[in-house]
Amino acid sequence: MPLLRPLPASCRARATALAVATVGTAALLGGCTGTGAPKSAGHARVASAPAQLWPGRPPAPPPTPDTETYTGPTPVPGLPEVPSGDIRKVSALSVVLAQNAADARASVPAFEDVTLNKIARCTDAPKSCPVRAPEYHDLTGDGKDELIIGIEGGEHILSVWAYMLKDGVVNRILDTAGTATAVEVSQGDLIMREPADKPGYETRTVHAWDAKNQIMVIRETEYDRRAPSSASPEPERTR
């Protein structure tokens, strides 16, 4: 028969004093266990289901389904075809001029006259040209680069246009604008960051390739904490 380990003298005295107490208070003797034994951390909060506020309030109606239709990429008239399939062979400035001419014919100019006049003089006055140097990145996932053009307008608005070659024809696949603090390309997505109304935050809009409609569409818009600003060199102008 195993030997019972006697309680320390202090515990025997406590046990005697508490013998007349209720059964519930016998738990106090738990503190007389050996050194290092676990001790209670106190009562834990009982888990409960969320308490719904104003349960009688009628819910808002479901959002209207997205009925926006896309017409696909838009060919830019007035530009020569590119049989090689290399969009780098196309002058970025010629694309902008042809796009502005097409917008004027459709009575939907993208810029005010001041900006349009500056664009028209880009060849003769490159320092005041609002068209940034062209960028080339694969936005469609086909392994070929697309042409990305940035144009500075009034009120610090940056217009971003993207073009692809489809059967040798230059087609616009993105037309967006904003008060951009940064424009990035990540894994084929074009991301524009803009200041948010709340100090210290910015909006982050992600434009992604829509293979079905063959254009770039907004995939998500979210708020992020603004990264610390750093000095950046004067943007290079197109030639």
Convert the pLDDT of each residue in 57-112 to its tens digit: 898 888 777 666 677 899 999 999 999 999 999 999 999 999 999 999 999 999 99
pLDDT of 18 above 60 = no
Q: SS3 of 157, please?
A: coil
Q: Is the distance from CB of 135 to CB of 148 less than 8 angstroms?
A: yes
Supply the pTM of this predicted model: 0.70
The answer to which of 46-60, 96-110, 149-163, 167-181 has the lowest mean pLDDT is 46-60
The tokens for 144 are 């070929």
Residues 6+ apart with CB under 8 A from 132: 149, 150, 151, 152, 235, 236, 237, 238
How far, CA to CA in Å, does 144 sit from each of 91, 138, 235?
Answer: 17, 6, 25
Q: What gap in Å lies between CA 209 and CA 188, rounded to an integer?
A: 7
Contacts of the segment 176-184: beta carbons below 8 A, 24+ positions apart:
176/205, 176/207, 177/110, 177/153, 178/205, 179/155, 181/226, 181/229, 183/150, 183/158
